[in-house]
A and B are shown apart, each in its own frame.
Chain A
Amino acid sequence: AQSVSQHNHHVILSEAASLELGCNYSYGGTVNLFWYVQYPGQHLQLLLKYFSGDPLVKGIKGFEAEFIKSKFSFNLRKPSVQWSDTAEYFCAVQNTGFQKLVFGTGTRLLVSP
């Protein structure tokens, strides 16, 4: 069965600081990888996704993530965060054969102005 680990439960940064959120997954087969963001009081929004090809994927709002197959990782990065990036971030893994999407427990990011 697939599983996802997000190591940081809470992250506090100042504006303009760089961000990296860790995500590791366990599954032996081919996977699709996602990062979702949930702003306070809102539903999930897709930040970016990796299906195949270039392991460095760029998403919306200046976010990017790198898929490292040998490490089973898909870390999310942003060079300079803004106050508006305050949200909860979820990594998710999808088994390509069965569509089932499994989420990590989320990382709450607080960006102080």
Chain B
Amino acid sequence: NAGVTQTPKFQVLKTGQSMTLQCAQDMNHEYMSWYRQDPGMGLRLIHYSVGAGITDQGEVPNGYNVSRSTTEDFPLRLLSAAPSQTSVYFCASTSWDSGNTIYFGEGSWLTVV
């Protein structure tokens, strides 16, 4: 049981490049989400999904796309990276069956130059 797995752990991008942050969970959780963490701003919700095929926007969705084709995977796409997207990204999952306990991935450090 690996929990929530995020890749890559570290990434440097040039402005305008695209990339995908991968997130996978093996706990059969229906709810998955992406957060970004910035100094002094805590964690802000980017996008979330309540099940396969269903996604919705969080607090700061602009510049990011998500999809949820399977229960296990919830990738986060940056279509055209900007320096303002330099941040630490956390994926999380939870389930009603798990007592609403949220499980976090270990984070992805992204720098856009």
Q: CB within 8 Å of B: which residues of A?
A: 6, 9, 32, 34, 43-44, 46, 49, 51, 90, 92, 94, 96, 98-106
Contact = CB atoms under 8 A, between A and B. Distances in A.
A90 B105 CA distance: 16
A14 to B, nearest CB: 24
Contact of B90 (A32, A43, A100, A102): A43
Interface of B: 31, 33, 35, 40-45, 48, 50, 58-59, 90, 92, 94, 96, 99-102, 104-107
Contacts of A96: 100
Contacts, number: 51
Given A43-B90, A100-B33, A32 B100 contact: yes
A99 B31 contact: yes
Contacts of A104: 42
A99 B90 contact: no
Contact of A103 (B42, B50, B99): B42
19 contacts: A34-B102, A43-B104, A44-B90, A46-B102, A49-B101, A51-B99, A90-B42, A94-B102, A99-B96, A100-B45, A100-B58, A101-B92, A101-B94, A101-B102, A103-B35, A103-B44, A104-B42, A105-B42, A106-B42
